[in-house]
């Protein structure tokens, strides 16, 4: 199965940024560096780093793809992750409502963008996982693309969209820091729960901005390092962000008995500095009067949070408390929504 693309979507070599030769069904080849990228069930693996995922897991998912349902494949994927049954069950439930979560998030980012969204363009979900968001974007936009570094998740995302009869989607295994797309490709871009896991956060931002089309929107959330309303969301432990970064792993190990790697939560000031420096540089380079613009929205209550407790009850009863927290406690709210726009 070859890679499905849209006329305005050209896949580039992530290293050379020249269009790939996709005339062969099983791999894409870069005409400049001659690197060959394999294609799995229509999904090209355009990572520049070698595969760190289990070949056995991938082979099993591919072998059972046609005969299995979406739920079967999700169960199969989770069975490879050797987690306690109750945790696996939570993950399964989370993924089974992936379409609903994707639809909710799509409405939210369209609202952030106001009425200026170009639905005739292509939408991109960075870190798309098992594809709930791409499933929703494909129903609003002419075409939807999902990228992730986890190839097994993309196989499941492909199944999700295939089961739904969507034929305007493309999944690509790629890194957020080396997007295999031409400048100005996307009308709308989303990245949910991604920036805190990306090793080079400025590159994530500048790459995202590069592939955004003029008049387009790039929306991503960023959990706050200095959140005073809840625990660190990945390890469910209070106070992690207030320690020096070098001490965080030992603290998490002490109270949770688990590692703390591959996570770097930004504070409000760090997030703002990153946006100013990365997008400001682009503004200076282009010398345009109306350069990139961005807004950072504080979120005191995350509606989609799995941990619905006293805060949700309080917020439901007294919505003005949420407004107050968003306005006066902005450096300390649980997370931010960032909306970046490119001038026309
Ligand atoms: Zn190349």
Residue 286 CA to ligand 1 center (angstroms) comes to 27
Residue 33 CA to ligand 1 center (angstroms) comes to 4
pLDDT for 155 equals 96
Residue 290 CA to ligand 1 center (angstroms) comes to 34
Pairing of strands 143-148, 169-173: parallel
Give the model's confidence band at 165: pLDDT under 50 very low, under 70 low, under 90 confident, else very high: very high
Closest CA relative to residue 112, chosen from 234, 256, 218, 184: 218
Residue 225 CA to ligand 1 center (angstroms) comes to 37
Residue 10 CA to ligand 1 center (angstroms) comes to 14
SS3 label, residue 178:
coil
Kindly state whether residue 12 falls inside one of the protein's structural domains.
no
Residue 158 CA to ligand 1 center (angstroms) comes to 26
Kindly state whether residue 100 falls inside one of the protein's structural domains.
yes
Residue 229 CA to ligand 1 center (angstroms) comes to 46
With the C-alpha atoms ordered 324, 100, 10, 195, is the resulting torsion angle positive or negative? positive
| pLDDT of residue 6 exceeding 90 | no
Residue 11 CA to ligand 1 center (angstroms) comes to 11
Lowest mean pLDDT among 98-112, 170-184, 280-294: 280-294
Residue 159 CA to ligand 1 center (angstroms) comes to 29
Kindly state whether residue 313 falls inside one of the protein's structural domains.
yes
Spatial neighbors of 259 by CB under 8 A, at least 6 apart, are 249, 252, 253
Kindly state whether residue 239 falls inside one of the protein's structural domains.
no
pLDDT for 73 equals 95
Residue 27 CA to ligand 1 center (angstroms) comes to 13
Give the model's confidence band at 203: pLDDT under 50 very low, under 70 low, under 90 confident, else very high: very high
Report the domain count for the chain: 1
Kindly state whether residue 147 falls inside one of the protein's structural domains.
yes
| pLDDT of residue 308 exceeding 80 | no
| pLDDT of residue 304 exceeding 60 | no
Kindly state whether residue 125 falls inside one of the protein's structural domains.
yes
pLDDT for 321 equals 76
pTM above 0.75, yes or no: yes
Q: Are 32 and 16 in contact, with CB atoms under 8 Å apart?
A: yes
Residue 209 CA to ligand 1 center (angstroms) comes to 22
Helix (H) or strand (E) holding 106: helix 98-113
Give the model's confidence band at 13: pLDDT under 50 very low, under 70 low, under 90 confident, else very high: very high
**What mean pLDDT, rounded, does the chain reach?**
87
Residue 171 CA to ligand 1 center (angstroms) comes to 20
Length of the chain: 344
Residue 342 CA to ligand 1 center (angstroms) comes to 28
Residue 28 CA to ligand 1 center (angstroms) comes to 10
Give the model's confidence band at 300: pLDDT under 50 very low, under 70 low, under 90 confident, else very high: low
Residue 247 CA to ligand 1 center (angstroms) comes to 40
| pLDDT of residue 299 exceeding 90 | no
* Distance between CA atoms of residues 28 and 11, nearest Å: 9
* Distance between CA atoms of residues 91 and 87, nearest Å: 6
Residue 128 CA to ligand 1 center (angstroms) comes to 24
* Distance between CA atoms of residues 11 and 102, nearest Å: 25
CATH at 39: 3.40.50.150
Kindly state whether residue 22 falls inside one of the protein's structural domains.
no
| pLDDT of residue 289 exceeding 60 | no
Print the domain residue range for 100: 27-224+266-341
* Distance between CA atoms of residues 65 and 325, nearest Å: 47
Kindly state whether residue 244 falls inside one of the protein's structural domains.
no
């Amino acid at each position: 199965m070859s890679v499905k693309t849209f006329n305005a979507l050209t896949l580039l070599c992530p290293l050379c940024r020249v269009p790939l030769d996709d005339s062969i069904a099983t791999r894409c080849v870069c005409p400049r560096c001659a690197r060959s990228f394999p294609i799995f069930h229509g999904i090209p693996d355009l990572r520049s780093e070698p595969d760190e995922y289990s070949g056995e897991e991938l082979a099993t998912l591919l072998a059972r793809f046609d005969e299995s349902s979406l739920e079967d494949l999700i169960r199969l994927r989770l069975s490879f992750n050797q987690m306690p049954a109750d945790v696996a069950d939570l993950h399964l439930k989370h993924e089974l409502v992936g379409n609903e979560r994707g639809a909710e998030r799509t409405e939210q980012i369209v609202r952030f963008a106001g009425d200026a969204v170009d639905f005739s363009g292509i939408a991109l979900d960075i870190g798309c996982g098992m594809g709930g968001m791409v499933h929703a974007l494909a129903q609003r936009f002419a075409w939807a693309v999902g990228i992730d570094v986890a190839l097994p998740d993309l196989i499941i995302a492909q199944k999700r969209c295939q089961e739904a009869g969507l034929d305007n989607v493309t999944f690509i295994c790629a890194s957020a820091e080396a997007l295999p797309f031409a400048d100005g490709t996307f009308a709308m871009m989303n990245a949910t729960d991604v920036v805190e896991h990306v090793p080079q956060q400025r590159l994530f931002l500048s790459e995202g901005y590069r592939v955004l089309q003029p008049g387009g929107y790039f929306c991503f959330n960023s959990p706050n390092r200095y959140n005073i309303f809840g625990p660190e969301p990945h390890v469910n432990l209070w106070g992690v962000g207030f320690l020096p970064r070098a001490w965080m792993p030992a603290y998490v190990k002490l109270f949770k008995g688990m590692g703390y790697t591959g996570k770097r939560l930004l504070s409000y000031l760090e997030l703002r500095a990153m946006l100013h420096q990365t997008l400001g540089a682009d503004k200076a380079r282009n010398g345009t009067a109306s350069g990139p613009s961005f807004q950072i929205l504080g979120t005191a209550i995350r509606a989609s949070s799995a941990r619905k407790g006293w805060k949700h009850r309080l917020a439901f009863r007294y919505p003005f408390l949420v407004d107050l927290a968003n306005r006066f406690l902005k450096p300390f709210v649980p997370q931010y929504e960032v909306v970046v726009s490119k001038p026309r």
